[in-house]
Chains A and B, each alone.
Chain A
Amino acid sequence: MQAATAAGLDKAVKAFPQDLIAAAAAAKAFRGGLGAPPAPSDEPWPPMRVATIP
């Protein structure tokens, strides 16, 4: 609920806490499906490469 409050969703926190719990669970599942983030040095796209890594 802290994340929801930080997003300005105070009214939803009060009125629809179950919807927020379901939404957070869905977001977690979607994020999990993306897999682990690559190390910055493994970025395959030159524009996304972190310039300071040798």
Chain B
Amino acid sequence: MTDLAFRSAVEIAAGYRNGGPSPVDVIDDLSSRIRRHDPDLHAMIAFEPEAVKAEAQLRARELAAGTDRGPLHGIPVAIKDIVDIAGTPTGCASAATVGHVAKADAAVIERLRAAGAIIVGKTNTHEFACGGPSFDLPLPPARNPWNLDHHPGGSSSGSGAGVAAGFFPLAIGTDTGGSVRHPASACGLVGLKPTYGLISRRGVFPLAQSLDCVGGLSRTVADAGLLLNALVGVDPGDPSSTAAPWTDCLSETGKDLSGIRIGYVRHFHEEDLQADPEMAKALDRAADLLRDAGGIVVDIRLPPLEAFFSVNRVLLSSEGFAIHAAMLREKPEAYGALARRALLAGAFLSSDDYIRAQKLRTQLIHAVETCFSKVDILLLASSMEPPSRLDDPIETRRTYTRQARTPFSVTGNPALTIMSGLSASGLPLSVQLAARNYAEPLLLKVAAAYEALRGAAQRPPLPA
């Protein structure tokens, strides 16, 4: 196992400035790892090592010449294949997009380039970021580096698998009903869905505009903050874009959580759904650790999980069908079965259903806001069990409904999943934290405190 492969972005960046490995050294190392493991993992959809190396050489020359673009300078970042990179195909893992080449960089790519990041390539995804792991697409689905027989979560599956496998320290994903946080949970990572509107979606193929968020996957909380800092900013190209009220989301530091009120949402995994005992135990352990750090942990109730899930699915299906309707009418055969079924559901929902879901969404937002008048942070489950086997589509399908990620897709609040340990079968367990809108600094502070108390994360059992 190479050391460079599992260095965090913070560590790599420090090395650049302290005589450590250069951007070229890092890219050479990571590229060889991608070449070795990706034939089994299928995390990458597009990876051109020579082009990536040329970018690394450019970043190294800039550093040598004294041009330092900041903490992401020379840091490798991979991009989910629904995000436009000028001059390259945005395939969305679909045969329906053949021939589409992006004319311009998406807003997040512009920001990453300005920050000096090295764009490593495009990562695998569920088709158009919906459906599930499919075997009838142009490329096979990504696999979980903790166990190649298991699902890495989705839809940002390649981003999760690649970060977990040590291909790159950071990756961009998108989250409409949990698609950043699911792979983070399944692959033992940190997955951050920021406040709705905080990161521009210009140049990102939409799934459901009233829900879509761009987010990041990383192996550490500090790296999640570095990435978020680089990506926030108002963009007139995204009508939902809003400004962050802070300039540094990592400004709140320290392991002391004294005075921070943490609401533990037990009923999601104890009543509304029954979590796997190992996952439930991990949540209780997290509550204990946060209490030990000085947090005031109290039980709190939100509306039933099913209400959030149903609202999310009605909105996602309706808005998704509106985007894909013309293509589904003309070329339904261009889609894989899972995405086709997921998107066609919108054809059977009425305007009444959509408006009713939006009304209920307003009530759910109010309920969550009321909770946040009593507590500062919510602790709750992300997945209800470790990731399913990839060759068991029925169980995989079932796990898509057995999760607690949709609440914050519906309400827009920032939410983060983080590894909590390993199951007896060696698969990642996770917990989720959520905060008030725009309270990413506090969310990251609590997550970092938990990360420190939890101890160092283990690495997937991939050979060097």
Q: A9-B329, A11-B332 are in contact. Are A34 and B311 (CB under 8 A)?
A: yes
Q: Is B35 an interface residue (CB 8 A)?
A: no
Q: How far apart are the CA atoms of A30 and B343 in the complex, in Å?
A: 13
> What's the minimum C-beta distance from A23 to chain B, rounded to whole angstroms?
4
Partner of A7 from B313, B330, B347 at Cβ < 8 Å: B347
Given the interface pairs A7-B347, A28-B348, the reply to whether A33 lies near B307 with Cβ below 8 Å is: yes
Q: Which of A15, A20, A37, A44 contacts B356 (CB 8 A)?
A: A37
Known: A8-B329, A9-B329, A9-B332. A30 touches B310 (CB 8 A): yes
Query: Residues of B contacting A34 with CB < 8 Å?
Result: 307, 310-311, 314, 353, 356-357, 360
Asked whether A22 is an interface residue with its Cβ less than 8 Å from the other chain, the reply is: yes
Minimum CB–CB distance from B407 to chain A (whole Å) comes to 13
Name the CB-closest residue of B to A44.
B363
User: Is there contact, CB below 8 Å, between A45 and B359?
Assistant: yes
A48 and B337 within 8 A (CB): no
Which residues of the partner chain B approach A15 to less than 8 Å between Cβ atoms? 332-333
Contact B307 A27 (CB under 8 A): no
Q: Is B346 on the interface with A (CB-CB < 8 A)?
A: yes
- Contact-residue bracket for chain B: 20 to 34
Is B317 close to A, CB under 8 A?
yes
Q: Does B352 contact A (CB under 8 A)?
A: yes
B37 contacts A by Cβ under 8 Å? no
Specify which of A10, A22, A33, A37 lies most central, judged by the most chain B CB atoms within 10 Å of its CB: A33
Minimal Cβ-Cβ distance residue in A for B355 = A48
Q: Is B341 an interface residue (CB 8 A)?
A: yes
**Nearest residue in A to B313 (C-beta to C-beta)?**
A30
Q: Is the CB of B352 within 8 A of A11?
A: no
**CA of A4 to CA of B309 in the docked complex: distance in angstroms?**
24
Cross-chain contact A16 with B332 (CB below 8 angstroms): yes
Given A7-B347, A28-B348, A45-B359: A19 touches B337 (CB 8 Å cut-off)? yes
With A26-B345, A45-B362 in contact, is A33–B309 under 8 Å at CB? yes
How far is it, in angstroms, between the C-alpha of A46 and the C-alpha of B347 when the chains are bound? 30
Collect the chain B residues with CB atoms within 8 Å of residue A23's CB.
340-345, 347-348
Q: Which residues of B contact A (CB under 8 A)?
A: 306-307, 309-311, 313-314, 317, 325, 328-333, 337, 340-349, 352-353, 356-357, 359-360, 362-363
Inter-chain pairs besides A9-B328, A11-B333, A31-B353, 11 sampled, C-beta below 8 Å? A3-B347, A11-B330, A12-B328, A16-B340, A23-B345, A23-B347, A27-B346, A27-B348, A33-B306, A33-B313, A35-B307
Closest 10 pairs (CB-CB, A-B): A33-B310, A23-B344, A27-B348, A12-B332, A30-B313, A23-B345, A7-B347, A26-B345, A27-B345, A24-B348
